Structure 1
């Protein structure tokens, strides 16, 4: 009798464990949250490492104003502003949108880097936006557009020259910056997005794009852990079980949507980053075919050790420092400095 009860208990436990496991697997497939939280953890752990390394390069002589709300009643709509100490007039302004696969990252992740840009004579604005899976596309696009309008409206108090703006971004932030640049310079695309651009085309002097994504469908061709991470990010940001066939992917792909009116562009990527050959170089080619002024910064394929994704924030390598100097030169050149 005892053996029968034990076998019955084991049988019941096995059924329960099996049911729980099946439910967990089903939830993992249907909801982007479990995978997205894993990706976010990995990205934010690496972000903390990058920030610590950048702090050794932080300059003096820079003032900052943090946590400025650019959109009423939106807890995620915050920005930070950096400018040289003692600035009394509007300066050429770099508006930076952070990366993080649309599901991680934040406006303060590269604060010392923004201080270095500001020390070169610019006002630098780092903008937060809502991340997936809690918020889905195109929320971030609308938020960033509202941030641009806020900066123009408050230009005097923030030491911004509203007629000398350069958009910038890294990784997912480069995709977002390229998307906003297209909307600003192409009224039909802005209408498709349902936005009235916060910047006029003549105010946007250039775009800085580091390690970005410009052909969304291309992310789906990756395999292994990288492919899993790409699909996780798109599932979380675009949403829905059929995210891979969503028309939003084409709408987000500036490889197809940029026009000849796209602003002058500085574009870069590391030789060890698969996005360089698969995304950045083809987009540079596409812009040049349209007649857009393009400044490229790419590296030899055999450079050792290879430059990884987001290499530009590694200022302990000469290539990172070279990318910073090149970006500063680009801003001065495009803003008439």
Structure 2
């Protein structure tokens, strides 16, 4: 693992790179953007999860980005775009396959990841946001979104008033505008209004008790309306309650179900023969144990 590679001049522009130990050839890249309500979180918190993904035959890039309230939207989006440019420009040195890229994120990071997909696939979106297109559409093979917010109009649609206050406070900090819902310049923040048939193949998950559940459901509906077939891991109300970021609790069955679906999605979208080989090796080892 390589820690704190500098991808740009600003102090927060650092990323970690986690590679599979068994593979020497260039591997598909999974860039995962951490959550934290735009005001917190860190790349280091998820290192164990990234190692689990990397062990299946992927290089995982985990970038740091500048946080609110000191830094406002779209600073993190611009920085993640620069991280992608750095990784693409140094693909040979870093032993990456620049033609096979998947963007992923959780919570606030899922929103940033979805915006990256819109920058790449939605005509005119980059100009509206004021952030350059970070890579060619043909290189972005998939998008993984966990428990994110995607629609400003849902800022009031939460389970409790206390949660609504927290969500509004984080969006105020991120946007730098107290009346962010009335600001036309923030309209591109609502990804649900900017999806097109060129949006990349997408895997979406959210817990059934997540206060942001409606966002994921609305994004899945928006993608379906433009003729796409997003893959979803949603949970019925009858299941045990699954809260925000349930997918990281790997000692639970639900998190294991999503992990398996995500790894299958990655292998399918990247056509990763190494992942399929590692999976078969793992199955053989399990059979030997029994």
TM-score, scaled to structure 2? 0.90
The reply on whether 1:273 has 2:273 as its aligned counterpart is: no
Give the superposition deviation at 1:258.
1.1
Give the superposition deviation at 1:242.
2.5
SS of 1:187's equivalent in the other structure is: coil
CA pair 247-220 structure 1, distance change in 2 beyond 3 A: farther
SS of 1:266's equivalent in the other structure is: strand
The reply on whether 1:154 has 2:98 as its aligned counterpart is: no
Give the superposition deviation at 1:87.
3.3
Q: CA RMSD in A?
A: 1.3
1:334 aligned partner = 269
Match of 1:85 among 10, 14, 21: 21
Give the superposition deviation at 1:248.
4.1
1:244 aligned partner = 181
CA distance in 2 between partners of 1:135 and 1:96 (Å): 20
2:114 aligned partner = 178
CA distance in 2 between partners of 1:213 and 1:225 (Å): 17
| Cα deviation digits, residues 84-126 of structure 1 (max 9, x gap) | 1153221111100011111110111111000000001111111
Match of 1:288 among 218, 224, 233: 224
Counterparts of residues 195-214 of structure 1 (less than 5 Å): 195-214=131-150
SS of 2:98's equivalent in the other structure is: strand
Give the superposition deviation at 1:70.
0.4
Kept after mapping to 1: 8 A contact 2:163/2:211: no
Give the superposition deviation at 1:292.
1.9
Give the superposition deviation at 1:312.
0.4
- Ranges in structure 2 where 5+ consecutive residues have no aligned partner: 273-290
Give the superposition deviation at 1:231.
1.1
1:109 aligned partner = 45
1:229 aligned partner = 166
CA distance in 2 between partners of 1:159 and 1:245 (Å): 46
Give the superposition deviation at 1:217.
2.5
SS of 2:91's equivalent in the other structure is: coil
Total equivalences in the alignment? 271
CA distance in 2 between partners of 1:170 and 1:240 (Å): 24
TM-score, scaled to structure 1? 0.78
| Cα deviation digits, residues 11-35 of structure 1 (max 9, x gap) | xxxxxxxxxxxxxxxxxxxxxxxxx
Structure 1 or 2: more helix by fraction: 1
Structure whose alpha-carbon radius of gyration is higher? 1
Give the superposition deviation at 1:255.
0.5
CA pair 104-248 structure 1, distance change in 2 beyond 3 A: farther
- Ranges in structure 1 where 5+ consecutive residues have no aligned partner: 1-63
2:244 aligned partner = 309
SS of 1:233's equivalent in the other structure is: helix
Residues 97-106 or 185-194, more deviating: 185-194
SS of 1:308's equivalent in the other structure is: coil
Give the superposition deviation at 1:185.
1.1
2:285 aligned partner = none
